[in-house]
Structure 1
Amino acid sequence: MQLKLLLLYLTILLIVIRSETIAAQSLPGCEDKCGNVSIPYPFGTRKGCYLSKTYQVNCTKLQIRNTTFKLLDISLDGYMHGSLPVAYRCYHKKQKPSEPKIHLSRFPIADRMNMLTTVGCDARANMKIIGGEDYIAGCLSMTGCNMLASGSCFGMGCSQVPVPYGLTSFRIHTQRNTNSSLGKGSFNNCTYGFIVQKDHYTFKETDIDNLHNRSFPVVFEWSVGNTSCEEAQKNGSNYVCKENSVCIDASNERNQSFQMGYRCQCAQGYQGNPYVSYGCQDINECLEHQNNYCMHRCSNTNGNYKCACPFGQHGDGRKNGTGCTYTEWSIFSVTAASVVLTLMIYGGFKQRQVMKSREKFFKKNGGLILQKLLFESKGSSQMARIFSAGVLEKATNNFHKTNVVGQGGCGTVYKGTLADKTMVAVKRSKSIDENQIEQFINEVIMLSEISHPNVVKLLGCCLETQTPLLVYEFITNKTVFHHLHEQDFISSLTFERRLNIATQTAEALAHIHSTTQIVHRDVKSSNILLTDDYTAKVSDFGISRFIPIDQTHLQTLVHGTLGYIDPEYFRSGILTEKSDVYSFGMVLVELLTGRKVYSYDGTESELGLAIYFVSSLERGCLIEVLDAKVKEDGVDDHIKKIAKLAEECVEIEGKKRPNMKRVKDELNEISESCLKGSIISKKVKYIDQDQIIFFDSY
């Protein structure tokens, strides 16, 4: 019952909304009402709001310019309602007769909708054109006052006749019938004459002497222009019918010579004001059943609608057409539709579950904290971006194995392509320490603000998955580890490139230490990526410590990779910037020797590379541990300086190690010296043998 009432209420509300939508329209910025009277264009109350002065409405008097009737309403179908006073003449009272002049401008009385009415005993009412002598219509009541009958107007105290067509200026004259046999003693004191809309006046006996101050509703016609539709359309500049409308000649069927101009009407399937640009709007017949003949499905079109049958039936779908009938495959179709519907419902259910799950993970992984921090940053272009899980799934083809570009103890890295063709690296961790979520979010914000040519840019993260996904810029040429230890890459790293890699890595670490006080914790060759021109970019700053480790990582409170871990940090558990210096020193050793700092089988020879390198240096046997490429391309002095710097970096005591700024400065000096030597070497190649001998002998 309540549902039915609700549906009824909604239907009524829809009808009200539609009625308001299709209500009379005025021009933009113009008043559309005078009190309760709607004023649609071409009518208006002030200059610029009406078609011409003929259609100007005086809101105070509720009168149209040059007319004498009171305006009640205007309809866009070419009619308007107004009221006219009653004309009267009294005979036994000292009262002047009232026979007002009626002026209607170009708005004649609708002859088929109004009646000339006489009230009185043996009374007569005549209509007379103003300025003329002839009466054009008359109405006569032949009945004496002793035979009155309320409710009828057929000659007994009341009489009605149709009005002539096209009247725009006239007056009504009333009098007693000159042939009346009633004497002066009759109580027929007054005679009345007036025009009234059909079926809007009911005679009462008391009206015989009581209509002096009355007025009655009258229907008037209105139109635009002074020509036919055909002529108006030829003269396009003055044609006022707008889009989606049709033109209708306003001349009377009984008097084609009386030209009233034309009217505009919205075309079938449209509603509104045809005199206003785009005032005729499409009717959505499908909203209300009474406006269409569809049996089942209704589709709205411009100015019309289409019907269709449900799945499994055929026909035109119309009540006045072939309707809808079942086909031989109906049962199969219905079954198939049911299956599809079930799958859709199930899919929708699963989708909602996924949405809820993602929302849960987003909150659990600190999404609300990150949103707050991003809001407080006021939209800085350097800030982290929050990626949705759907975007990254699409970018990585649902994390397909063919997009894997790296795997380790902390998780898996996938190559992805965003919708704008940007290449990204998506790191999916195996798990994260829930106790450090807030610190994790803070470092994501901090690291995303770092902009350094030798640091892999952290673009943002996704927090809608079980463990957060980190999104980095994609670096194309793998890692230093690949180029040092995989057969396909070994010959690619010349001594000069190794020196550049070391220098750029030192610059990145020094920059991070000085600007953010973040300690990397896991500096190693596999965390140094290379671009196509062998520019080094350091990745995995800081965040790696929030991710539990396995295999090559120690399963203790000390986080790091075997062989690269600072012994002092290993013993005390206290991490400092000097811990990164030690790890970087091991990268220098790795670049010089070409040997792995650690191996997956944990053999002693590999785990002791630092001791092995330092002892070789102390014994003067450095040449024995150097990589062939280093010996082939390098200059002894440069190699010794780098080896000495590496030795200082891997000191057991942290306080004896240099800081990263000093390491960076020394490597820059070596690089500059190496570059000068390279330039001199290239110049010598262009000096011929005679000159060399000449200089030697000189």
Structure 2
Amino acid sequence: MARPGCQERCGNLSIPYPFGIGRGCFRSGLEVTCDHSTGRAYLGGEGSNVWAFEIFLLQGEARVHKHLTWDCYDGNGISNFIRSPIDLHSYQISHTKNKFTAVGCDTIAFIQGENTNSYTSGCVSFCSSEASVDTSGQCTGMGCCQTSIPANLTYFNTTFSTRRSASVLGFNPCSYAFVIETQQFRFDISDLAGYNFAHKYSDGVPLVLNWVAGKESCDEAKKNMSSYACRSKNSECVPSDNGPGYLCNCSSGYGGNPYLEEGCQDIDECAFPEQYLCLGQCTNTIGSYSCISISTVFLLVCIFPLVIECQKRKLVKEKDGFFKQNGGFILLEQMRSRRVETVRVFSKEELENATNNFDKRRELGRGGHGTVYKGIMEDKRTVAIKRSKVCNTNQKDEFVQEIIILSQINHKNVVRLLGCCLEVEVPMLVYEYIPNGTLFQLIHSEGPSISLDDRLRIAIESAEALAYLHSSAFPSIIHGDVKSSNILLDDKHMAKVTDFGASHMLVKNETHFMTVVQGTLGYLDPEYLQERQLTEKSDVYSFGVVILELITRKTAIYSEDSSERKGLASSFVMAMKENKLQDMLDKSIVGVVGMEPALGAISELARKCLSMKGEERPQMTEVVEQLKLIRRTCCQEKLTEYMIQEQKINMQNLVRIILPTLHNTEASP
């Protein structure tokens, strides 16, 4: 139902109010422009490139087309086609129904966007030959890759960092990057050939947008009835499921358009009483109906307790099934045989109560492997509860083994595992709660300057944790996703390494071949990317990037003056070769007198960690020793000099006070 007197359709698309075409026909922000020559409706005013083909009032959604970003090798070099970014102030890209996707071999694709903060992510797809492409239809990183996008995204753009190798050009000359509705996409190996994919989606790929009638809460919206969107007297306000704001629905027993004054009309429910379980004599009323059936009442009274009992048994059976599926019985047996007493198996109800049923307000952070919530247990202890995103029942033995090993890790700079919950579809892990956020937040927030001594101390503590995992744990543990956001800071700003979702356990000097590359762009070991061999030296490379973050205060992928985005590691190595190191370092530590040798030594250590060949990188134990030596020879010596100088000043002041007193004492009778 359009607003009275307004255009109701554009081509095949119905335009229901609060959307509309022309002045006075739409609610602010929900204008639609109709191209009468093509019959296409575009969300927004003149010049909009967002072609809509479905609008859903009840769900607060719209389905639209968005063109691809691509680059192709045509024999003379790489040509690319970058569409203008999608920027919709009145809409948000649905984070539950869309995914960022890239198609192609030798492809690194990035998505940049804005929600409440700047956002950058990406995914990597490699295939050395046509035979190595995954033909399952899934995006596993071999010909196609995908990653989730955050909530409340109103703007995004897509770019590439593509490296073409001769081995793939024959069957895959092009790479593509786009956000697409997950249910509408299935990868096919034919997508890699020629310009097939571009022709397949010549009108653009489908994606889902979220919209709201107003950005305030229902209570706030009702305070101003002149702007309140729910105009029908038989309508009600409902909070949006997709973020801040509200939508309108017709009240129970009514149907139609709640945004129009007479939009919600009575539903004649007696026309289809079986839908409403009306088994007796049905009499329609305004907005409802009445039904009289003694047999129905009797039947419900008898059946209701049985249904409840059946549901209870079904729930218990489901929990037992998940517990077994996730290796719960194996874990309990291992804990008994190894006398593990530090890890506890929690129930689903305990963790739901601790997190207020996983309330979004309890979220501590989201990552590639899951979401972490703050939990308050019954004994008032604060914990961090991680809900993983994926579940692989074929790896339950490895999962159990990982819990057993993590439970035995006892290092002051590794976040301690307290327990797990296995009676859910995807296992949950419970860790000690670390209150002071991440190293990433400390480095990259606009806070006070951080002393070089503190930066070195945090680097040493983090390196000691990784050295412990590599050298003291048995079997060795490769972290697999070392980055500043996986280093937490406790109440004394001591570093603690966390998030073992990408970790692997290896026998000493063993390499691990990965079918899917895991990790974070900007920190990924290039040798691991090319060879798919995960080793201890992969962690060393990633830690080298963390060192750079500490001394430059730049992110792993950064941009300056709105220029193209750069990799911190490659930019830093190039700056060292060109003797332009000073341009990269954080200005707040460059100007400190006497720190030049220390900064040079740290930079040289980082360069060694970032070597393209793993065999040329130091071991983590060597990194620890080098960092300690640098700290001793610069910061600690400076601190000692400062303390000696302070003692001299204090002694001089003391002498000035005591001498006159002694003189007066000797002169007295």
Higher Cα Rg, which structure: 1
Q: Which has the higher strand share?
A: 2
**TM-score scaled to structure 1, two decimals?**
0.46
**TM-score scaled to structure 2, two decimals?**
0.48
